[in-house]
Chain A
Amino acid sequence: MYVYDQIDQRLVDQRVAQFRDQTQRFMAGKLSEEEFRALRLRNGLYIQRYAPMLRIAIPYGLLSSRQLRKLAQIARKYDRAYGHFSTRQNLQLNWPRLEQVPEILAELAGVQMHAIQTSGNCIRNITTDHFAGVAPDEIVDSFVWCEIIRQWSTFHPEFSYLPRKFKIAVNGAERDRTATFVHDIGLHALRNEAGEVGFRVIVGGGLGRTPLVGHVIREFLPWPHLLTYLDAILRVYNRYGRRDNIHKARIKILLKERGADRFREEVEAEWAHVKDGAGTLNDDDVRRIEARFVRPQHEKLQPVEPIGGPGFAAWAKRNVHGHKVPGYAAVTLSLKKTGVPPGDVTSDQMEAIADLAERYSFGELRVSHEQNLILADMRQADLPALWREARELGLATPNIGLLTNIIACPGGDFCALANAKSIPVAQAIQERFDDLDYLHDIGELDLNISGCMNACGHHHVGHIGILGVDKNGEEWYQVEIGGNQGKTRAGRTPTGEASPGAALGKVIGPSFARADVPAVIEKLIACYLERRDSEAERFVDVVHRIGIEPFKESVYGNAHQRAASRSRARALA
């Protein structure tokens, strides 16, 4: 856990004072709607469909029991006693009152938390691997680098009024669990032949209405240059990113319009000026940040194979993950129980989870971008006991990596931007696929739902992605297949190649009414099961091997049948 020093604390306190003043000036008519909008957004405050929405930062997804208890209290006192964990590892409250937000921020500051830069056209919360620091395939502990970047980006004087929002992800392990290829900047740590740490720099990926896979603009950036190189990228973007059209303002469009090569040249030219300047990092800088993290003190343990019956075994198979220290494991507490909106937790659950983390996992938790919570430092011997308690709390659904571990945005139930609801679709699918044996047989499958093309539910990188669209005021759903968030799992194609890296899904055809969506998913799954070579070949692997046409046929009929149905429709019209 990162522990604030006096400077960190003073800055969040001063931020509260600043926002209190801005809110008062707005309510007194001294700030216009538009001016206040730019200011409230960078404190995470949206005006939503029914009420404001407040997005609280959970820097790189790391949270203490004490902080989670505070979030539970805040949700109870200022909201409706629940919160929503988002795909960017933050927590959203859906019903706070505008005039109370400064109070909420003050309470957060009391537990070293804030809502700084969780929205607005600035550098957002830095996201990372939810197994940082414990992953067996770790290259570096990405938390340290995230914190270095967090400090650099917080109140950055030059880059606080960018053309558009800016998202940076840092991956410190071999496998990419942070979707670095679909961020404005993705940084993937690696070691060169001399064993020195550096970063592969990926720029210009993103989802939203123009989904694009990022470009590697530098294969190896030695770590001392991390911040000066970020300065160079951001300066090029701040100066030349489009500001005439909000839909073309992300850095991915700048890269697309200029071409990755020209963009790289511009960044390198800018970097030549700032390289080795004051922003250059040295060992002391890194050690100073490292020293502010309080680390779990692991015991010397023998690995154990915990026994707990069939229910436990199914859970352990899906929700327990490897750990670099013998005798320990990481556990996912699933927030994807059927009937509960994905990522939602009640205040009571938050408090219970805080207790679990305290008793079993050094009082720390992580939020995953798949909207679950992780206890990262569990003794293997404690797993059966934890499982029993988590099951009581409704947090032990054994579905991590499976179809019902659905990522979904809040959708039309809450969000002013949404074209369609997401949550009822997620529930209908979860209900349709409620047979656990069948789910396990289907195997690893990411199903992501967004209520509009802003793609907060990351539908483009779901193996199956569902997008809510508006057709003459009615809610319809478009289905994509073949997306992939990165080299997240050790899947192999039949020819033995590693599974594809980040990929964007392809739309299978015309959209569906909400009631038809579960049946469509069933047809896609049936098609997959029929055509897979073995259980090791995942849904997404089959789509990449045989293309989308067979899947399309399974849903809409073959080309001949489709033409016949079109002409029938025309004749009836």
Chain B
Amino acid sequence: MATLIKERRVVHERAPSPDARVIRLEPGDDPASVAAELGSVARIEVSFPKFGDGRGFSIARLLRGRYGYQGELRAVGHITRDHLYFMERVGFDAFELREGEDAAEALAAFSTFSVPYQRA
């Protein structure tokens, strides 16, 4: 099972309880389509099928900023430590790393840059 980082800690997740509602968004999905359900989900997973497909970054920004989602927002797919700094900045708080990525080492990536240029 792939390693998971949640709120900047390596965690080992048990199989999710069957009643927990999880929404999964693919890169082409419109976050507006799930806006009405955001209050009642256990988490939202945003898929990154390829290393370089950045659509999920905009999805996260919209979920957090425009639709006010406050629950767990998890990035899943082809994710290495090289994505973590940006992903956290757009609102992800959980990350399922790709096979073979060392989660403990990856934690350092959250402090790749100590200050951002962007205010938004």
Q: Enumerate chain A interface residues (CB-CB to B < 8 A).
A: 7, 10-11, 14-15, 18, 22, 30-31, 34-35, 38-39, 121, 151-152, 154-162, 227-228, 231, 235, 238-239, 243, 273-274, 277-279
For the complex, what is the distance from the CA of A154 to the CA of B117, rounded to whole Å?
A: 7
B7 contacts the other chain (Cβ, under 8 Å)?
no
A-B CB proximity, top 3 nearest: A161-B54, A157-B89, A278-B120
Binds A, one of B16-24, B33-41, B107-115: B107-115
Chain B 81-104: CB-based contact to A (< 8 A → 1; otherwise 0):
010011101100000000010000
Give the CA-CA distance A227 to B115 in the complex, in Å.
Answer: 19
30 contacts between A and B (CB under 8 A): A10-B115, A11-B115, A30-B100, A31-B80, A34-B51, A35-B82, A38-B52, A39-B82, A151-B117, A151-B118, A152-B117, A152-B118, A154-B117, A155-B116, A156-B118, A157-B86, A157-B89, A157-B116, A158-B54, A158-B57, A158-B90, A159-B57, A160-B54, A161-B52, A162-B54, A228-B120, A231-B120, A238-B54, A243-B53, A278-B120
Given the interface contacts A121-B52, A157-B86, A161-B52, does A239 sit within 8 Å of B80 by beta carbon?
A: no
Report B53-90 CB contacts with A as 1/0, cut-off 8 Å.
Answer: 11101100100001000000000000010100111011
* Chain A residues with CB below 8 A from B118, complex form: 151-152, 156-157, 279
Dominant SS at the B interface?
A: loop
Q: Is B14 an interface residue (CB 8 A)?
A: no
Across the interface, A14 reaches (CB within 8 A) one of B61, B113, B117, namely B113
Are B112 and A277 in touch, CB under 8 angstroms?
no
**Min C-beta distance of B61 to chain A, whole Å:** 5
Cross-interface CB contact of A157 among B53, B57, B100, B115, cutoff 8 Å = B57
Chain B, interface residues (CB within 8 Å), range:
20 to 34
Cβ-closest chain A residue relative to B115: A7
Measured CA separation A31–B82 after assembly (Å): 10
Residue in chain A with minimal CB distance to B98? A35
A278 with B119, Cβ < 8 A, contacts A158-B61, A160-B54 known: yes
State the Cβ distance, A123 to closest chain B Cβ, in Å: 12
Report chain B residues within 8 Å CB of A161: 52-54, 57
Interface secondary structure of A, over-half rule:
helix
Please, how many angstroms separate the alpha-carbon atoms of A274 and B112 in the complex? Answer: 27
Known: A35-B82, A158-B57, A158-B61. A11 touches B52 (CB 8 A): no
Closest CB of chain B to A15's CB: distance in Å?
A: 8
Contact B54 A14 (CB under 8 A): no
Q: A-contacting residues of B (Cβ < 8 Å)?
A: 27, 51-55, 57-58, 61, 66, 80, 82, 85-87, 89-90, 100, 112-120
Q: In whole angstroms, what is the CA distance A159 to B90 when docked?
A: 10
Minimum Cβ distance to chain B for residue A191 (Å) = 27
Q: How far is the CA of A235 from the CA of B62 in the complex (A)?
A: 10
Give 12 new A-B contacts, CB below 8 A, not counting A15-B113, A157-B87, A161-B53: A11-B115, A39-B82, A152-B117, A157-B86, A157-B118, A158-B58, A158-B61, A158-B86, A235-B58, A243-B53, A277-B120, A279-B119
What is the CA–CA distance of A55 and B49 in the complex, to the nearest angstrom?
A: 29
Most buried by A among B27, B55, B57, B118: B118
Residues on B with C-beta less than 8 A from A14 are 112-114
Nearest chain A CB to B55 CB, angstrom units = 6
From the candidates A11, A22, A274, A278, name the one contacting B117 in the complex (CB within 8 A). Answer: A11
| Residue of A with least CB distance to B60 | A158
Q: Do B120 and A38 have beta carbons less than 8 Å apart?
A: no
Of all chain B residues, the one with the shortest Cβ separation from A18 is B112
Closest to B56 in A: A161
- Report how far A11 CA is from B113 CA in the complex, Å: 6
CA distance A31 to B78 in the complex (A): 12
Measured between alpha carbons, how far is A18 from B53 in the docked complex, in Å? 21
A489 to B4, CA, bound (A): 59
Instruction: Using CB atoms, name the residue of chain B closest to A156.
Output: B118
Complex contacts, A22 vs chain B, CB 8 Å: 82
Shortest CB–CB separation between residue A468 and chain B, in angstroms? 29
Cα distance A11–B115 in the bound complex, in angstroms? 8
| Interface hub of A152, A161, A227, A273 (most chain B Cβ within 10 A) | A161
**B50 → chain A closest CB, angstroms:** 8
Which residues of chain A have C-beta atoms less than 8 A from B51's C-beta?
34-35, 38
Report how far A154 CA is from B115 CA in the complex, Å.
Answer: 12
Distance in angstroms from B69 CB to nearest chain A CB is: 15
A162→B57 CA distance, assembly (Å):
10
Task: Give the CA-CA distance A277 to B118 in the complex, in Å.
Answer: 12
Instruction: Give the residues in chain A near B89, CB-CB below 8 Å.
Output: 157
- The one of A7, A35, A274 that contacts B80, using a Cβ cutoff of 8 Å: A35
Report A538 CB to chain B, min CB distance, Å.
Answer: 43
Contact residues in A for B80 (Cβ distance below 8 Å):
31, 35
Give the distance to chain B from A103, nearest Cβ to Cβ, in Å: 20
User: Chain B contacts of A238 at CB under 8 A?
Assistant: 54-55, 57-58
Of A10, A38, A156, A277, chain B has the most CB atoms within 10 Å of the CB of A156
- Cα-based distance from A235 to B114 in the complex (angstroms): 25
B113 lies within 8 A of A160 (CB) = no
Assess whether A239 is in contact with B61, with CB atoms less than 8 Å apart: no
Measured between beta carbons, the chain A residues less than 8 angstroms from B58 are 158, 235, 238-239
Please report the C-alpha to C-alpha distance between residue A159 and residue B60 in the assembled complex, in whole angstroms: 12
Q: Please give me the residue from chain A that is nearest to B28 by CB atom.
A: A239
Are B54 and A10 interface neighbours, CB within 8 A? Answer: no
A235–B112 Cα gap in the complex (Å)? 24
A30 contacts across to B, CB distance below 8 A? 100
A69 to B78, CA, bound (A): 42
Question: How far apart are the CA atoms of A155 and B27 in the complex, in Å?
Answer: 21
Give A471 to B104 CA distance when docked, in angstroms. Answer: 53
Most chain-A Cβ atoms within 10 A of its Cβ — which of B53, B90, B120? B120
Q: A523 to nearest B CB, angstroms?
A: 46
CA distance A7 to B119 in the complex (A): 14
| Across-interface contacts of A35 in B (CB, < 8 A) | 51, 80, 82
Contact of B55 among A34, A152, A239, A278 (CB under 8 A): A239
